Each structure stands twice: as structure tokens, then as C-alpha cells.
Amino acid sequence: MKRLKSRRVRWVGIAMASALTLVSFLANSFQTDEDRQKVAKMTGTMKTVCVGRFLIDLPAEATVRLRRGFVGGYDVASTDRETDDDFAERLGAFENTLLDGKDEYGKLESAKDLLSATGQGKVFVHNRRPAQTIENGHILAIEDVDVHGLLRLPHVSIDAQAQGMAPGSEAGLVRVLRRFRAMRPGEIPREPGFCLGHAIVLDPYDDADTESVVLFAGLPGHPDVSIVLSSMAGVTPAPRLLERHAITADRRPLFMQLAFSHLREAARAINGLDGDELVMRVREPNFTTGYSFQWEMPGRQSDLNMPFMTLELAAGTNPTGGGKPVQSTLSEQALIDLWDRIAGSLRLRPTALQAPAAVEAPATALGAIALAGDSCPHTGWWQCTEVNARVRVYNGQRQFIAEGKRMPQALLLPQPTVWQRVRGLQPSYESRSPTRWRLADKRHRPRVPVQAAPAPAVTGLAEPDLVPNLAPLDASDLGPGLATGLEPDFTSGVTPETDLMPHRDTLIGSVAQSSAPCPASGWWRCDDSDALDGTRWFAAGSLLPRASFAQRVRRHSSWTLVRLASEP
């Protein structure tokens, strides 16, 4: 009887185990089919994301973040969650923090305005400190500084910084930031360049051989699933993924080797990108199952289009940092379907050199700031911001400047002292920093008629207060040679026999030297940038004067004909 009972118990146990195995198999099959349907629906609508110089397709509902941007030797971050007022407030607060100089940022050394084609901001130099370097085997004492740039583009803010830089390196940061262009949500740019989430830095730019960026993506409803794409140019080649994995696997103890199951382990080229693929199932000590998908391209160190690139998908990862592994929310086959759909979309972004619509800059708003030395962003009347009740600007505080022309450095005229008034002198100076000009009026106003004619050319030099403030000339007044930016192929070339004869056929753009007879009646512009004469009318045959300067020094100069006129 006891034997019969023991046999019954044994058969009942076997039957129950078989039933549980069958139920588990059917449940897993059902779960797999359901998960694969979820993935099919999830990947039915995809969105394309620009990451560095590459594109990848992700489920439309995926959350995407780009971090750890590095271009031109500077760490770069971008955000579209800030208004213009928020940016201005943050910029002012950061500058005040540097002025205070009591925290880790150190003391402010300089703050320069930054103006790009589509935005403006500031570049700061701070935290100067002693450092050391080795040159030819000798230790040299040097100084390091930190640089930080804040740039506001349309709906996008850019932060770029670097520590331990050589003094003067802020010029490189300015050049890099001026290459940034904001990207619209979902935009895939056509210009050659490097995507950094909300903006792209356009080629060419300084030190592009060390650019890098990392994409992080997650799936709603699956917090244990994470996707990471990393692109790093200029990396020294290392052993390939499968070579490193083989070495690591041999060193693992036996119990760890039993916990890993290799689902894929082979070379895999994706859209012309040569790499290795490694897919593993992991049985964790807490009886959960996770998955690791990896693809890696070693790349070429000197090729921006073949960087060191890694694509990873992990499932079963605890969303809480430091937490124990969790059971994967997607079954094995569903994860393989998801991986193949995403990994198979990785490709080099196609570019076109001609994309005028993509690089078209928005209209310059009234109140925009431009600095001396930069190209004028918009034709109109620009007002110098560096004047007050005691300081005037030569040629007027408000000046007409055409788009593309170089913004001038203002010649400032302070009030003369009593002794200078007695001597008839007007002091002048130029600021050490570039003059700030604010766009005050976009209209192309007609020229203001001259109220008083200048002194005749042969009677001496006019003081600055007597020089008429003429409205600048447009391209139609300069003739075909100067309107196109070409130097005229003629000079004054006046012979003694014809010095006193007016040349009615003298061309616009003709050049004559001071102390020589004027070839034709009209308005002549002094070519010396620091001269006070500006544009003046001279009669044909009169002697062209020497230039006048703030220190009342006379020296020879050249005059260019800008408009023929028989009378002033």
C-alpha cells in the first residue's frame, strides 16, 4: 500500500509539473504575441532625430534628450524651455555672480557682447589663476582662465564653456558660437554640420575633429527600457567590441558565464557603417531576466563621418538609480523586433551645400545690437549707445549704414576745455571696446539737404563743428565700380598741362591726392579713416586740402569722388 501511495504521489507531482510547464509556455507565448503587437504598433509611427552627423528613427512616443555636447573644444548645452526674458534674467544674474567673485566661478575678467547672424549674447572670461606646463622638459609658470558663453537664438538658448583655457581663447568661443543656428522641432537640417538637439553648429568651425554628443531615449509605459546613442569623433582606435567581449567573457567565473546567454555575436554593417553586434540575455540573482543589445562602430580617427559610435538598448534596468534589476516589461522576441527596427535606421545624414531656406536668417528687430567691426545685419539708421550730454559722435549719434557694410568705430567728441576753445581745437578719442550700435529705424530716409556749405577748399581746414553732417550715400551714388565692391582701375593721373582744366567726364570713384587740383566739381570723400573731414564739396580746379585731425595735424591724404555736382 505504501508503494502504491508513493507512486501516486510521484505521478501526481510529474503531472502537476508538466501542467505548470505547459501553462508557463502558453502564457509566455501569449505574452510574446501581445508584446510583439505592442512593438509593431509602437514602431508603426516613427520620428527621425538628428544626432551629431547621423539620423536615427525612434518610436514617435519616445522621450528624447541630447546631452554631453562637445564642439570646438567647448562643452555645449541647449534648451528650448526658456523665454527671451528668462534668458536675459539668467544672463544678468550670471554676470552679477562673476562681478561678485565669491563662488566657484571666480572673478570676472571681461564680458564682451556676442552677436551672430540670428542671435545675441555675451562671452565671459573669469577665474584667472596660476598654472604650470611642461615645455622642452622644463616646467613653466602660466595662467589659466575659464570662458563661458551664453547665446540666445530664436526660441533656443545655448550655453558653452571650458575651463583651464589659455588667456585669449575666448575669441575661439566667439567664432564657434557664431556658427550656431536654431533648429525647429522635428527639423532635419540639410546643411553640413553637427546637431546638438535644439541647434546645429554649421561647418566649418574650429577644432571640429573632437565633436561628440549622446542621445538618451525612453519609452512611455516601459521605464526599464532605455536607448543610448553616442557619437565621438577624434577617438583613438581601440579593439573592437567582439574582441573586448571575448577577453572579458573568459575572465568571468563559471556561475557568471552560466547567467549570460548570447543571442547574437557577430559583425554587422548598418547602412554602410561597419560595426559589431552583441545581444545577450541576463539571468539576475534576484530571478529577473534582462537584456542587453549593443552595436559599436570603431570608426576612423580623422574622419568626422566615421566617428567612434555606440548604440545600446537595455531592458530590465531599474529606473531608480542604484536599484536592483527588474523583470523586463517586454518579452525577448518583442525586444529583438524593436532593436532591429531602431538599429536598422541608423544612417549618415545626407547634406546639400545649397539650402537657402534652411539658413535664412529672421528679420532683424528694432533695438538689435551690432558691434563695430561686424557686418551690418540690416540697412537702416543705427544709433550709437555711448554718448551722453558731454560727449557727441562725429558724423552724428544716428548714422545710416547699409546691410553688409562694416559697423564703424565711433569717433567720440567730448566737450573741449576753455583753452581748447580758445585755440579752436576739438578733442576726440575712440573707446577701447567696440562701439555698440542699436537699430533705431529701418526706413531708407532721403538725404537731409545741406544747410550750410563747407569752407572753400583753398581757404584752410574746417573744424569738426563746421563739417556738415551729410547723410551717407547709397550704392547708386557710388557708381558701378564701388557698388560691387571692386576697386576702380583708375587714379588721379593729372598732368601739369591739364591741372587747371575741369574734367566733366571724370568717373565716380576717381581718386585724387591732396594739394592737387580737383579734377571735377562734386562731393569728395576723404579716405583716411581717422580724419575729421568726411565728405565735402570741391570745385573743379581748386586745390584739394590735406586731411584734418583732432590734434590739428595736417598730412597728405587721398579723396574719392562719390557724386558729381556743379554746386554744393
Concatenated DSSP letters of 414-425: EPPPHHHHHHT-
In terms of pLDDT, which residue wins out, 515 or 471?
A: 515
Q: Return d(Cα 133, Cα 117) in angstroms, integer.
A: 38
Side chain identity at residue 444, one-letter code = H
Kindly compute the dihedral angle of the four CA atoms of residues 536, 539, 542, 543, in this order, to the nearest 10 degrees: 20
Positive or negative torsion for Cα 373, 378, 384, 386: negative
Identify which of 76, 70, 53 has the alpha carbon closest to the alpha carbon of residue 158. Answer: 76
State the pLDDT at residue 298. 92
Identify which of 76, 89, 149 has the alpha carbon closest to the alpha carbon of residue 114. Answer: 149
State the pLDDT at residue 177. 94
Side chain identity at residue 262, one-letter code = H
Burial of 188 (0-12, 13-18, 19+ CB in 10 A): middle
Q: Count Cα neighbours of 128 within 13 Å in the Cβ-side half-sphere.
A: 12
Express each pLDDT in 78-113 by its tens digit. 999 999 999 999 999 999 999 887 777 888 999 999
State the pLDDT at residue 482. 32
State the pLDDT at residue 419. 85
State the pLDDT at residue 357. 42
**Is the pLDDT reported for residue 147 higher than 80?**
yes
Positive or negative torsion for Cα 149, 152, 153, 159: positive
Cα 461 to its chain centre, rounded Å, is 48
Express each pLDDT in 301-328 by its tens digit. 888 999 999 999 999 999 888 889 999 9
**Is the pLDDT reported for residue 369 higher than 50?**
yes
State the pLDDT at residue 213. 96
Residue 395 DSSP one-character state: T
State the pLDDT at residue 7. 61
> What integer is the mean pLDDT of 486-492?
33
**Is the pLDDT reported for residue 515 higher than 60?**
yes
> What integer is the mean pLDDT of 484-512?
45
Least confident of 141-150, 230-239, 500-509, 550-559: 500-509
Residue 555 DSSP one-character state: B
State the pLDDT at residue 502. 39
Confidence at 363, pLDDT banded by 50, 70, 90: low
In terms of pLDDT, which residue wins out, 7 or 551?
A: 7
Beta carbons within 10 angstroms of residue 362's beta carbon: 11
Confidence at 5, pLDDT banded by 50, 70, 90: low
Least confident of 9-23, 60-74, 356-370: 9-23
State the pLDDT at residue 83. 93
Write down the mean pLDDT value for the chain.
79
Burial of 72 (0-12, 13-18, 19+ CB in 10 A): buried
| Domain ranges, ordered by start, for the chain | 61-67+208-338, 73-206, 383-445, 446-568
> What integer is the mean pLDDT of 205-234?
92
The three-state secondary structure class of 464 is: helix
Express each pLDDT in 243-265 by its tens digit. 998 888 878 777 777 888 999 99
Confidence at 483, pLDDT banded by 50, 70, 90: very low
Residues 188 and 357: beta-carbon distance below 8 Å: no
Full-model pTM: 0.60
Q: Return d(Cα 412, Cα 430) in angstroms, integer.
A: 6
Q: Return d(Cα 524, Cα 538) in angstroms, integer.
A: 7
Common-topology check for domains 61-67+208-338 and 73-206: yes
In terms of pLDDT, which residue wins out, 298 or 484?
A: 298
Fold of 73-206: Protein Transport Mog1p; Chain A (3.40.1000)
Express each pLDDT in 393-432 by its tens digit. 887 888 888 888 888 888 888 888 888 888 778 888 887 7
Mutual angle of helices 2-42 and 332-343, in 10-degree steps:
20
Cα 52 to its chain centre, rounded Å, is 14
Identify which of 343, 342, 434, 428 has the alpha carbon closest to the alpha carbon of residue 386. Answer: 434
In terms of pLDDT, which residue wins out, 345 or 496?
A: 345
CA 301-307-310 angle, to 5 degrees, is 130
Residues 222 and 330: beta-carbon distance below 8 Å: yes
Express each pLDDT in 271-302 by its tens digit. 999 999 999 999 988 889 999 999 999 988 88
Classify 566 in phi/psi space as left (phi over 0), alpha (psi -120 to 50) or beta: alpha
Identify which of 529, 525, 532 has the alpha carbon closest to the alpha carbon of residue 547. Answer: 532
**Is the pLDDT reported for residue 64 higher than 80?**
yes
> What integer is the mean pLDDT of 472-482?
35
Express each pLDDT in 535-555 by its tens digit. 788 888 888 887 776 555 455
> What integer is the mean pLDDT of 366-391?
80
Fold of 61-67+208-338: Protein Transport Mog1p; Chain A (3.40.1000)
State the pLDDT at residue 464. 36
Residues 241 and 228: beta-carbon distance below 8 Å: no
Residue 271 DSSP one-character state: T
State the pLDDT at residue 407. 87
In terms of pLDDT, which residue wins out, 331 or 508?
A: 331
Confidence at 18, pLDDT banded by 50, 70, 90: low
In terms of pLDDT, which residue wins out, 391 or 454?
A: 391
**Is the pLDDT reported for residue 467 higher than 50?**
no
Q: Return d(Cα 492, Cα 494) in angstroms, integer.
A: 6
Q: Which residues contact 142 (CB under 8 A, 6 or more apart)?
A: 130, 131, 132, 133, 166
State the pLDDT at residue 447. 47
